[in-house]
Each structure stands twice: as structure tokens, then as C-alpha cells.
Structure 1
Amino acid sequence: MMTMRCIVVDDEPLVRELLEDHMSEVPFLELVKSCKSALEALEILQEEQIDLIFLDIQMPRLNGLQFLQSLDRPPLVIMVTAYEKYAVESFNLQVADYITKPFSFERFLKACNRAADLFRMMNSAMSAATEKNHDFFVNVEYTHVKIVAADIDYIESLKDYIKIYLSSGTKPVLTRMSLKSIEAKLPAGTFVRTHKSFLVAMSKITAVKRDFVCIGATEIPVSETFRENINKVLKSH
């Protein structure tokens, strides 16, 4: 499970201590800082990557709701308050959960699990979007041409050059580059080496034969050296 970096924001020392104790029992939570005011928390957010805030509402100078509304891109938030009356307003601000004091460890853990589920979904969505939009430039006859990784069917190596075959193109893009160099530019875990001269987009493979993988009607060779790569792809799907 992914670790969530957290801060506690509450002006009551006993509540901060209780939250810190509870957090120490949850393996996927990492306490970065315990803050006694929203202004102190603002400083932490400017300096640290924070994934989750445990946030009180009634605090001096700047209350929890005002603090949350002041953030352009707030992390996940679990409200921890003695007042039930702010629940609707809090959920309208997209908080992960709303805990009323006093609360049990079980209720605390339930809120943490809910936040962790949201955190995983957010990260999965971001990873998918990054993979989908992953692009880079290659040099083609003194011109920099943008290649979108999701558009690549396969890549063929020809000594000092490679041919990049695209779903959207009728002709491959020819550029002076090694297969190893372009592999480093591609999203991890999305392409498979089938042969010393071929790199194939796993999502584009439509069939697997003994000595070939197919992308539609196109057959791409599989050598004995890299056959295990294809076996791993088959086992993972």
C-alpha cells in the first residue's frame, strides 16, 4: 500500500497527541508535522509534499474551513471536529471524511482507509493520464518531430537508426537513435522487447504465435532470447 504523508492541524494539544498515537498504529500513514494552527500548516504545505490533512475546524485566526477554502489544490482532508453542524459544508469542499470528537480508533481507521482508497484512485488516474499523454521529440532530417507514446505500434532497429511505426501514420518515422535510447523515453512497463531489433507496444498486440506477435495483420518476430518476455506478457493478462 502506498504511504501517505500527513499533517495534523488542531489547536488542542490532547487531540494532536491522540491523532499522533493513532497514526503510529496505521502502517500506511507517515506523520510529517503536527501543527497547532492553520497558519503553521500553510508553511508546511509550501515546503513539503503532503497527501492527507487531519483538520480541526474551530481554531483561532483562521478556522479549518477557511483554511481549506484558501488552498488552490488541497490534499485529501479528514475533518476532525467536535461539531456536527459543519458536515454538509465540509463535504461540499470534497473532504474524504468527517470525524466528530470524541472518536474511537475504529472510526479513525475507517476514515484513513477511505482516504487511502481515494489516494490510490487519484494516483491510478494520474498514472493513466501520464501514460496516455506521454510524448517526446525525435530528430527527423533536421526537424524535431513529436512522438506520442500511445500512438506507437512497434519500433524496429536498423543499425544506427530506428523506425517508429505509428497507428496514425502510413509511413514509419526514421530517426538516428538506438533502441536502448528510445526505450528509456517510453513509459515503464508498456513495451516489450521481442527481438534484439524490435520493441512492441504490449497494448497493441492482437495475437501471439510461436515465432511472431501480431498487431493486426503485421507480424513481428520473436527470437528465442526474448521469448520469455512474451510468456510474461501472456501470464499477466
Structure 2
Amino acid sequence: MMKCMVVDDEPLARELIEDNIRLIPFLELVASCKNVEEALTVMVDQEIDLIFMDIQMPGLTGIEWLKGGLIHQPMVIMVTAYEHYALEGFNLNVLDYLVKPVAFDRFLKAATKAMELYVLKHKHKQPAFVENQEQNSLFVNSDYSLVRINMDNITHIEGLKDYIKIYQLNADRPIIPRLSLHYMEDKLPSSNFMRIHRSYIVALDKIISVKKNRLYLPDGDIPFTDNYRTELMEYIGQRS
């Protein structure tokens, strides 16, 4: 979740931005300030990820503040009535430029752009996979949230190009984190999970039956290849 701050001298404009932030689940409103001086005070104690900032304000303007440099270098989205500052804003590495009055769908698009950049910057600091072996569970990053998954509920995992799909018992849809199948293969306990295809890992205790080159599971069937047949049949033979 990104920590956000609003900086605008107009009370109504601040309230509208605050309301929009509260409607977006991956944004957290930390402070709302009427000028740059108040914002600087907040940033002494708080690390802000994203600022929604007006340009024309009493005292130090938004543009002047950006030219002087920002503490912690947060991302900035300009929200202003003045279109002609757009080019100058982008030259100062402003992430997006919204012209008042801002429709919510446009606001959401700008916030999503910020979140995508935030995730990219923090992907090495906040791992997409967190083990919790004591409780036989794991956490994965999906839809900008850490989602807890009980490993006993996993039936199989499908590998895509840059993502995986984690299928679970009695779940309406799979969890889709940005991870590789190879990474998951290394992390999951080999006692109950086996790679059976270049695109699939199966939970061995969820196999109902085997027919030709397909495994039948509670939520459907998946293929396996001859490369993995011997190891798979050895497992099934040990339990027959």
C-alpha cells in the first residue's frame, strides 16, 4: 500500500482528492496539507510514497518545490487547473498531470500508474513470496496485496510467461502472483509437490486418478509429460 499526501490550498479540492484516495484500496492517505510548508513538516517524520499536488499555492509553489528537490524523492502527480504547466511538470519528472475537475476514472488511471512503478521499485525489498512453515502457509503478492495461501489447499500451479496461477480447493478463481514456476518449485516442499510438466506443478495428495498422460484432480485435469512419468509413477506405486 502506498502512503499518500495531498498538497492543495483549496479546501474543496483537497476534500475531493481525499475522497478519491479513500476509494482506491492500494492508497493510504497519510496527510492533507494546505501549503508546501505544512507538507515539509509532515515529511520530516513520515516517508511519503506519492504526493497529489497543486501548482499555484501561496508561498512556495509546487513547481518551485519540485525544482528545489524533495525529501525521500516521492512520486508526484500534479492536480491543477492550469494546463500550461504540464510540459514543465513532466520535465521535472512528474508522474502524471491531472487537470481539474478530474474524473475518477482518470484519477484511478494515474494512481494505478504510480502503483505499478511502486511495485517495480520495491519488488526486491518486498518479496513476492513469504513462507510461514509453522502454519504450513505462504503469502504471495497479488492485486497489490499480500494474500495468504494454505499449502494444504493447493491442487496445482500453472506457469505462464511472467506469472503463475495457484489453484486451490473450493476457490472460485486462481491466485495470480508475478512469480516463476521454477521459483515456486524451489520453495514448495518436495514431499508433496512435484513438477510434472514444463507448465505445471501438482500437489501429489490431490491426485484422484491417472489416465494416459493426464492427472485428474478435484478441480479438473492437467497434462504430464513422459520426462516426469517415472518419478510420478514411483510416487503412485509407493502409495498403492
TM-score (normalizing by structure 2): 0.53
1:118, distance to aligned residue in structure 2 (A): 1.0
Instruction: Tell me how far apart the structure 1 counterparts of residues 113 and 34 of structure 2 sit (CA, whole Å).
Output: 25
Residue in 2 that maps onto 1:66: 64
Residue in 1 that maps onto 2:55: 57
Instruction: Tell me how far apart the structure 2 counterparts of residues 92 and 54 of structure 1 sit (CA, whole Å).
Output: 17
Q: 3-state SS of the aligned residue for 2:79?
A: strand
CA contact (8 A) 1:68 1:74 kept: no
Q: Measured at CA, do residues 228 and 116 of structure 1 come closer, stay the same or move farther in structure 2, by a change above 3 Å?
A: same
Residue in 1 that maps onto 2:36: 38
Residue in 2 that maps onto 1:113: 112
Residue 83, structure 1, aligned to residue 82, structure 2: yes
| Amino acid aligned to 1:59 | M
Residue 6, structure 1, aligned to residue 14, structure 2: no
Runs (5+) with no aligned partner, structure 2: 128-181, 203-240
| Amino acid aligned to 1:81 | T
Q: What CA deviation, in whole Å up to 9, does each residue of 1:50-81 have, x standing for no partner?
A: 11000000001100011122225420110001
Residue in 2 that maps onto 1:94: 93
Q: Measured at CA, do residues 73 and 92 of structure 1 come closer, stay the same or move farther in structure 2, by a change above 3 Å?
A: farther
Residue in 2 that maps onto 1:25: 23
1:230, distance to aligned residue in structure 2 (A): 7.7
Residue in 1 that maps onto 2:191: 228
1:37, distance to aligned residue in structure 2 (A): 0.4
Instruction: Tell me how far apart the structure 1 counterparts of residues 56 and 62 of structure 2 sit (CA, whole Å).
Output: 7
Instruction: Tell me how far apart the structure 1 counterparts of residues 105 and 16 of structure 2 sit (CA, whole Å).
Output: 13
TM-score (normalizing by structure 1): 0.53
Q: What CA deviation, in whole Å up to 9, does each residue of 1:76-106 have, x standing for no partner?
A: 1100011111111111111111000111111
* Matched residues, number: 140
Q: Percent identity?
A: 50
Instruction: Tell me how far apart the structure 2 counterparts of residues 112 and 96 of structure 1 sit (CA, whole Å).
Output: 10
Runs (5+) with no aligned partner, structure 1: 129-204, 214-225
Instruction: Tell me how far apart the structure 2 counterparts of residues 122 and 32 of structure 1 sit (CA, whole Å).
Output: 20
1:15, distance to aligned residue in structure 2 (A): 0.2
